[in-house]
Structure 1
Amino acid sequence: MYRAIGTVKSRAFRVLWMLEELGQDYDLIAAAPRSDEARKYNPLGKIPALVDGDGVLTDSVAIMTYLADKHGALTAPAGTPARTQQDAMTLWLIDEMDALLWTAAKHSFALPEAMRVPDIIPALHKEFARNAEGLTKRLGDQEFLMGDAISVPDLLAVHCLGWSFGAGFPALPDPLKAYSKRLRARPAFRAAAAR
């Protein structure tokens, strides 16, 4: 059985949702960032971590990719053009959405107050809104980002879209709202959120 380390209201949620989508049993070990519990699994105290047997895995996207490959689900096969396109979408989401959200979080509460630059936040909002329009175009009329099946980029995107709402970023384009709402209604998403 897997052991997931983190909290539901963090990037660990992506891993929990992935485990639920895969139908895998797991225990959630509650650990806040930089806590003693988190440092047992990652010397930097970052969450999430995932324990699989003797292995300890870190970074939410790396963990999701590992789980997708291990279980042969929610991913295109490694070494295929479809996987390269999926990986490109995943990396785009990390660069153009997740990074902006995390930078805003750092300058809102995560950094020591003397290091925060709150004046950067409006620029991050504007950039995120531009990227949300780009994601809307990439989604087009597909049900999922990579076509007709849910995959790693969908979990990452929906988590980022929810994070943006909670962080007071500009409203999302209607197609992204509908996409996010549809995926958040999935039983696996609800099961992970209920943890």
Structure 2
Amino acid sequence: MYTLIGYPRTRAMRVLWMLEELGEPYDYIPAAPHAAEVNALNPTGKVPVFKDDDTALTDSVAICQYLADKHGKLTYPAGTLDRACQDGVTQFTVDVLEGALWTAAKNSFIHPEELRVPEVKRVCAAEFADGLRHLEHLLGKGPFVMGAEFTVPDILIAHCANWAKLAKFDLPESGPVADYLERVLSRPALAAAMKRGAEAIA
């Protein structure tokens, strides 16, 4: 049995979505960062934390890719050129899209106030917009970022898009990226994950 620990309005949502896409049963504990049950398994206090039997895994990207590899779904096989391309898109998403969002968040409410540099958020918004322009080139002709197959980086990109809405970063209202995000964000598994998260904190 899997156990996921982490508040739904964090990167834990990526893993919730992944589990719903896979149709795998899991226990869910909606704990906030640095909660006692989180600190007991991850000294950094960050979420999500994911338990597979007695082993605790951290980092949402690593957890999602582990689940994809273990169940042979939502990923290309390791050691293939398709997988190398997929991993490149994953790294782009983390470095560029998430990097801009995370830096903005740290300078909005995470860092102590005396360490925040609010002006950097304007730079972050510009970096995110540039990343979306690059994403348009990555999309190619397929309905998903890797073409015909829905894969792990689609979850990561879509999660960043929802995060961007909260950060008040601009998202395209029309065009290839807007159409792509509408396709991915309308998946039933995401709706199920959001429902599970909402019920857990109600």
> Per the shorter chain, which TM-score range?
over 0.9
* Partner amino acid, structure 1, of 2:113: E
C-alpha contact (below 8 Å) 1:4/1:51 kept by paired residues: yes
Q: State the alpha-carbon separation in 1 of the partners of residues 173 and 99 from structure 2.
A: 20
Which structure 2 segments of 5+ residues have no match? Answer: 197-202
Residue of structure 2 equivalent to 1:159:
159
Report the TM-score when normalising by structure 1.
0.97
How far apart, in 2, do the equivalents of 1:173 and 1:77 lie?
34
Offset from partner CA, 1:159-189 (integer Å, 9 cap, x none): 0011111110123362222212221211110
In structure 1, the partner of 2:95 is 95
Unaligned ranges ≥5, structure 1: none
The answer to whether the Cα contact below 8 Å between 1:6 and 1:12 also exists between their aligned partners in 2 is: yes
Residue 200 of structure 2 corresponds to which residue in structure 1? none
2:185 maps to amino acid: R
- How many Å separate the matches in 2 of 1:42 and 1:173? 39
> How many correspondences in the alignment?
195
| Amino acid corresponding to residue 187 of structure 2 in structure 1 | R
The 8 Å contact of residues 136 and 173 in structure 1, kept in 2 or not, is answered as no
Match of residue 186 from structure 1: 187
CA contact (8 A) 1:133 1:173 kept: no
Q: Secondary structure at the match of 1:179?
A: helix
Cα distance in 1, alignment partners of residues 165 and 140 from structure 2: 21
1:45 offset after TM fit, Å? 0.7
Alignment of 1:126-165 (within 5 A): 126-165=126-165
Runs of 4+ in 1 over 3 A off after TM superposition: none
CA RMSD in angstroms comes to 1.0
Q: Is the 8 A contact 1:3 1:50 kept in 2?
A: yes
Q: Distance in 1 between matches of 2:10 and 2:31?
A: 10
Structure 2 letter corresponding to 1:155: I
1:66 partner amino acid: Y
The answer to whether the 8 Å contact 2:161/2:171 transfers is no
- Specify the alignment match of 2:35 in structure 1: 35
